[in-house]
Amino acid sequence: MTNIFGWDSVQYSESKKAMIILDQTLLPNKESFISINKESLLKEAIKLLKVRGAPAIGIAAAIGAAVVLERYPAKTNSELINEFNRLSKELISLRPTAVNLKNSLVRLQKALIEHSFGYNVKELKALLLEEALKIKEEDIAANIKMAQHALTLLKPGDTILTYCNAGHLAVSRYGTALSPIYLAKERGIDLKVYVCETRPLLQGARLTTYELKKAGVDFTLICDNMVAHLMSQGKVNAVITGCDRVAANGDTANKIGTHTLSVSASYYNIPHYIIGPSTTIDYSCPSGSQIKIEERESAEITDMWYNKKMAPPGIKVYNPAFDITPAKLISAIITETGIYRFPYKFKIND
């Protein structure tokens, strides 16, 4: 697949010794790339969703940690490892639902420990960056495989409904849920897309439409509460979403509202496909009931998009960022290793 955007959402600059990200909070109005080489900037980017999407968060955490620790004046391997462990714990706490962040940092931690007796501090720092960049390259390869698998479930002329943003911005390159749409475009296969706005942060309206417009895909933006109406009229052939964490039994955490989509799709006999890399599967988590759901500030609902408040001051607000879609509602979960159906028995890699 061709990188139709000409850039990746998370990049490493050798000349700047820094991680470069596209600030997604400014889209679609402004394309602004941020250079990150300090812990405070890394935490801010992750917490404030300047970088978002489960795979992209994991990659940013890995590359960001390597960049930050490159500047840390450790004198011994133990000192470097202790600092990595501290930073890793704090980064994981910023976005607890998406498992890719944790998985990436655990992978770096294992690499540090395995080489701690044969490498010096400088070599360990170089190893961290090398391993982080491997995670990115593996993600790109996985996205291509996922696109190929998913496209076998679609046919020319299909209309896809997607939610939130699970495209180029949410990964290293190409996307998860949007990857088969980009592959179809490259192969000259006609697919149409309905994009849900995705309240409260409008990732669909701001980010997915931004991507699809750049890619020349035929899409239509809708409000979240229009979904069942469209389905009842036969205007949707498949629902395709990404995932932030998949439990071992197939229960899936994704952007709040995904569960509602899946219930509606099931009622109207429309398949709901979830696409995500195998790194999003949490084998230590038996079911969705064990997944911690991140709750975010009330201002995202009451104040975010207008100069004036959208609700009276002092009211109670509940703002979970994710919900859990039960495995039985999901028609298939697609990873780079294949297409899986209920009851889910995943394999980690080919």
Catalytic residues: 244
Tell me the DSSP string of 115-168.
TTTT--HHHHHHHHHHHHHHHHHHHHHHHHHHHHHHHTT--TT-EEEE-S--BG
* CA gap 302, 317 in Å, rounded: 8
SS3 220: strand
* CA gap 20, 34 in Å, rounded: 5
* CA gap 91, 170 in Å, rounded: 18
Edge-to-edge order in the sheet of strand 238-241: 218-222, 192-196, 159-162, 238-241, 272-275, 332-335, 338-340
CB 185 within 8 A of CB 214: no
H/E stretch holding 322: strand 322-325
3-state DSSP percent of the chain in helix, strand and coil, to 5: 45, 15, 40
User: Which residue shows structure tokens 């919900």?
Assistant: 323
Number of H helices, E strands in the chain: 11, 14
User: Which residue shows structure tokens 């990188």?
Assistant: 3
* CA gap 275, 278 in Å, rounded: 10
Write out the two tokens for 172: 């290293």
H/E stretch holding 34: strand 33-36
